[in-house]
Amino acid sequence: MSTTSGQGFVLSGKSVNTTSGGSIISLIKLRNQLTFTVSDIEANVTIPGNNLEGISAFPLQSGGYLVIGNEGAGTPNRSICLLKVNNDLTLSWTSPSHLLFGGINDDFAGNVAELPDGRLLIFGTMSLGNEGQKKMALIKLNKDGKFLD
């Protein structure tokens, strides 16, 4: 769950895709003054993909949210997944809709942060080498999700 600077809360997690049986990211935006009724829900969206799970959503200075999660949930071959959504939870990045980081081993998302200049940091663990040694990972991107030069 993430607070949105006095504008409510965003919950992220996973739902089951009833067609494929795989998991998809589920995002729910709740209003600031909760009454614990259905009217608290401002937006409820799912993000399709290959066994996706949402870990957390983080508000951006410019509006919208970064959502960090994993692709390949429930398998030993997860990859770190990053996507950006607008305030109404519609996808901001469209081609591709989400970015993947990792290889053939199990890589896991931990956290994402926005720096004051708009650059993005992803924290997680990545499995390296034939023995799959777990190493801490820090990935630095520009505001558009591209690697820095």
Residue-wise pLDDT tens digits, 39-84: 999 999 988 877 888 889 999 988 899 999 998 877 778 899 999 9
| pTM as predicted | 0.85
Cis peptide before 96, with omega less than 30 degrees from 0? yes
40: helix, strand or coil: helix
Q: Label residue 42 exposed, middle or buried (CB < 10 Å: 0-12, 13-18, 19+).
A: middle
Starting at the edge strand found earlier in the chain, the sheet holding 120-128 runs 108-114, 120-128, 133-141
52: helix, strand or coil: strand
